[in-house]
A and B are shown apart, each in its own frame.
Chain A
Amino acid sequence: MSDELKSSRRAFLKGGAAATAGIAAAGAAGAAEGPDPLITELQDWASLTGDGVDATPYGLPIEFESDVIRRNVEWLTADTISSINFTPIHALDGTITPQGCAFERHHSGAIELAKEDYRLMINGLVDTPLVFTYADLERFPRENHVYFCECAANTGMEWAGAQLNGAQFTHGMIHNMEYTGVPLRTLLAEAGLPAETAGKWVYVEGADASSNGRSIPMEKALDDVLVAFKANGEALRKEHGYPVRLVVPGWEGNMWVKWLRRVEVMDGPVESREETSKYTDTLEDGTSRKWTWAMDAKSVVTSPSPQAPITHGPGPLVITGLAWSGNGAITRVDVSTDGGMNWTQARLAQPGQKMALSRFYLEIDWDGSEMLLQSRAMDDTGYVQPTKEQLREVRGLNSIYHNNCIQTWWVRETGEAENVEVS
Chain B
Amino acid sequence: MSKSLKLFATAAAPAAAVLVVAYNFADRNVTAMPPLPDRSEAIAAYTAPPPSPLMAAVATEGDATAKFGLGRPALPEEIAAWDVDIQPDGTGLPDGSGDVWTGEELFEDNCAICHGSFGEGVDNWPKLAGGMGTLADEDPLKTVGSYWPYLSTVWDYVNRSMPFGGAQTLTADEVYAITAYILYNNDLVDDDFTLSKENFAEVELPNAGGFIVDDRAETEYPIWTGAPCMENCKDSVEITMRARVLDVTPEEDGAEEAAETMGAESSGGAPVEVAAAETTETTAEMAETEEAVVAVAADPELIATGEKVFKKCKACHKVGDGAKHGTGPHLNGIVGAAVGAKDFKYSKALTSLADSGAVWDEAALAAFLEDPKGFAKGTRMSFRGLKKAEDVAAVTAYLATFAE
Residues of A with Cβ closer than 8 Å to B?
6-7, 9-10, 66-67, 69, 71-79, 81-82, 90-91, 107-109, 112, 121-124, 128-133, 136, 139-141, 161-166, 169, 183, 185-186, 189-192, 198-199, 203, 205, 209-211, 213, 217, 219-220, 222-224, 261-262, 264, 266, 268, 270-273, 276-277, 280, 282, 284-294, 296, 306-309, 334, 338-343, 372, 376, 378, 381-386, 390, 394, 397-398, 410, 416, 418-423
In the complex, the answer to whether B315 meets A342 with C-beta atoms within 8 Å is no
Give, as a whole number of angstroms, the nearest-CB distance from B80 to chain A.
Answer: 10
Q: Given A384-B225, A420-B241, A273 and B156 touching (CB < 8 A)?
A: yes
Nearest neighbor of A220 in chain B, beta-carbon distance: B8
10 residue pairs bridging A and B, Cβ less than 8 Å apart: A67-B255, A67-B256, A73-B249, A81-B314, A123-B83, A140-B70, A163-B243, A276-B211, A289-B212, A382-B225
Q: A285-B136, A341-B234, A383-B221 are in contact. Are A209 and B161 (CB under 8 A)?
A: yes
One digit per residue, 1 when the CB lies within 8 angstroms of any chain A CB and 0 when it does not, for chain B 104-135 equals 00000000001000000001110000000001
Q: Kindly identify which residue among A71, A223, A273, A418 contacts B157, using a CB–CB cutoff of 8 Å.
A: A273
Chain A residues, Cβ within 8 Å of B238 = 422-423
**Contact call A186/B211, Cβ cutoff below 8 A:** no
In the complex, besides A73-B249, A139-B70, A209-B165, 6 extra interface pairs with C-beta distance below 8 angstroms are A79-B327, A217-B5, A273-B156, A372-B237, A384-B225, A394-B219
In the bound assembly, the distance between CA atoms of A217 and B244 in angstroms comes to: 43
Task: Please tell me which one of the listed residues B87, B156, B249 contacts residue A166 in the complex, with CB atoms under 8 A apart.
Answer: B249
With CB as the reference atom, state the residue of chain A lying closest to B152: A271
The answer to whether B46 has its CB under 8 Å from any CB of chain A is yes
Is the pair A219, B226 in contact by a Cβ cutoff of 8 Å?
no
Known: A129-B73, A219-B9, A289-B212. A166 touches B22 (CB 8 A): no
Assuming the contacts A140-B70, A213-B85, asked whether A286 and B232 have C-beta atoms less than 8 A apart, the reply is: no
User: Is the pair A219, B228 in contact by a Cβ cutoff of 8 Å?
Assistant: no
Inside 8 A of A130's CB, which chain B residues have their CB? 71-74
Q: Which residues of B contact A394 (CB under 8 A)?
A: 219-220
Asked if B255 contacts A91 (CB within 8 A), the reply is yes
Q: CB distance B71 to A132 under 8 Å?
A: yes
Please determine whether B64 and A189 come into contact, CB atoms closer than 8 angstroms. yes
State how many angstroms separate the Cβ of B159 from the closest Cβ of chain A.
9
Closest to A311 in B: B256
A218 to B117, CA, bound (A): 41
Chain B residue nearest to A262 (CB atoms) is: B82
Does B214 sit within 8 A of A, measured CB to CB? yes
With an 8 Å Cβ cutoff, the count of chain B residues facing the other chain is 108
Q: Which of B202-223 contact A (CB under 8 A)?
A: 210-216, 219-221, 223
Residue from the set B168, B228, B260 with the largest chain A CB neighbour count within 10 Å: B228
Let me know if A205 and B124 touch, CB within 8 A.
Answer: no
Q: A288 and B135 in contact (CB under 8 A), knowing A6-B253, A273-B161?
A: yes
| Complex alpha-carbon distance, A164 and B8, angstroms | 35
CA distance A198 to B9 in the complex (A): 9
The reply to whether A287 and B161 contact each other, CB–CB distance below 8 Å, is no
Q: Which listed residue (A220, A271, A289, A339) contacts B213, Cβ 8 A?
A: A289
| Distance between Cα atoms of A203 and B71 in the complex (Å) | 19
Which of A192, A210, A309, A398 touches B65 (beta carbons < 8 Å)? Answer: A192
Task: Show the binding face of B for A, using Cβ within 8 Å.
Answer: 1-2, 4-5, 8-9, 11-12, 15-16, 19, 22-23, 43, 46, 64-65, 67-68, 70-74, 78-79, 82-83, 85-88, 114, 123-125, 135-136, 138, 140, 142, 144, 147-150, 152-153, 156-157, 160-161, 164-165, 167-168, 210-216, 219-221, 223-226, 228-234, 236-244, 246, 248-251, 253-260, 262, 265-267, 311, 314-315, 326-327
B85 contacts A264, C-beta separation under 8 Å: yes
Contacts of B149 in A (CB 8 A): 271, 276
Whether the pair A418, B210 counts as a contact (CB closer than 8 A) is no
Q: Residue on B with the closest CB to A63? A: B259
Q: Are B249 and A288 in contact (CB under 8 A)?
A: no
A290, B4: Cα distance in complex, Å: 13
Using known A-B contacts A161-B241, A291-B2, determine if residue A108 contacts B9 with beta carbons closer than 8 Å: no
Q: With A123-B74, A276-B148 in contact, do A162 and B161 touch (Cβ < 8 Å)?
A: no
Contact B211 A343 (CB under 8 A): no
With A129-B73, A129-B74, A189-B19 given, is the CB distance from A165 to B244 under 8 Å? yes
The listed residue with most A CB atoms (<10 A of its CB), out of B70, B228, B231, B242, is: B70
Cα(A35)–Cα(B125), bound, Å: 61
Q: Would A163 and B161 count as touching, CB distance under 8 A? A: no
What is the minimal beta-carbon distance from A312 to any residue of chain B, in angstroms? 14
> How far is A270 from B250 in the complex, measured between Cα atoms in Å?
37
A108 with B241: CB separation less than 8 A: no
**CB-CB nearest in chain B for A372:** B237
Give Cα A140 to B68, complex, Å. Answer: 8
Report A-chain residues with C-beta under 8 Å of the C-beta of B267. 74
Q: Are B259 and A66 in contact (CB under 8 A)?
A: yes
**Bound Cα distance from A345 to B223, whole angstroms:** 21
Known: A339-B237, A342-B232. A219 touches B5 (CB 8 A): yes
Contact of B224 with A272 in the complex, beta carbons under 8 Å: no
Q: With A131-B72, A222-B15, A422-B237 given, is the CB distance from A286 to B136 under 8 Å? A: yes
Give the distance in Å from the alpha carbon of A132 to the alpha carbon of B140 in the complex: 44
Cross-chain contact of B315 among A109, A136, A223, A277 (Cβ < 8 A): A109
Report the nearest A residue to B159, measured CB to CB: A211
Give the top 9 A-B pairs by smallest Cβ distance, nearest first.
A286-B136, A339-B237, A286-B135, A78-B124, A419-B243, A67-B258, A129-B74, A209-B167, A130-B71
Given contacts A71-B265, A383-B221, contact A398 B79 (CB under 8 A): no
Q: Which residues of A contact B88 (CB under 8 A)?
A: 268, 271
* B71 and A199 contacting across the interface, CB-CB below 8 Å: no
Contact of A199 among B1, B167, B241 (CB under 8 A): B1
**Shortest distance from the beta carbon of A382 to any chain B beta carbon, whole Å:** 4
Contact of A186 among B19, B255, B262, B314 (CB under 8 A): B19
Residue from A133, A288, A308, A421 having most chain B Cβ neighbours under 10 A: A288
The answer for the CA separation of A80 and B277 in the assembled complex, in Å, is: 22
Tell me whether B85 and A272 are in contact (CB under 8 A): yes
CA distance A75 to B249 in the complex (A): 10
- When the two chains form their complex, are residues B12 and A341 in contact, meaning their CB atoms are under 8 A apart? no
Q: In angstroms, how far is the closest chain A Cβ from the Cβ of B316? A: 9
Find out whether the CB atom of B19 lies under 8 angstroms from the CB atom of A341: no
Looking at the assembled complex, report how far the CB atom of B329 sits from the nearest CB atom of chain A, in whole angstroms.
14
Nearest-neighbor residue (CB-CB) of B75 within chain A: A131
Residues of B within 8 A of A211 (CB): 160-161, 167-168
| B338 CB, min distance to chain A CBs, angstroms | 26
Given contacts A123-B74, A219-B8, contact A77 B124 (CB under 8 A): yes
Distance in angstroms between the alpha carbons of A293 and B251 in the assembled complex = 32
Beta-carbon nearest neighbor of B43 in chain A: A141
Question: Please, how many angstroms separate the alpha-carbon atoms of A343 and B11 in the complex?
Answer: 34
Residues of B within 8 A of A397 (CB): 138
Q: Which residues of A contact B71 (CB under 8 A)?
A: 122, 130-133, 136, 190-191
The answer to whether A79 and B213 touch (CB under 8 A), given A183-B19, A271-B149, is: no
Q: Least Cβ distance of A186 to chain B in Å? A: 7
Contacting A334 at CB < 8 Å: which of B73, B230, B327? B230
Cα of A421 to Cα of B152 in the assembled complex, Å: 41
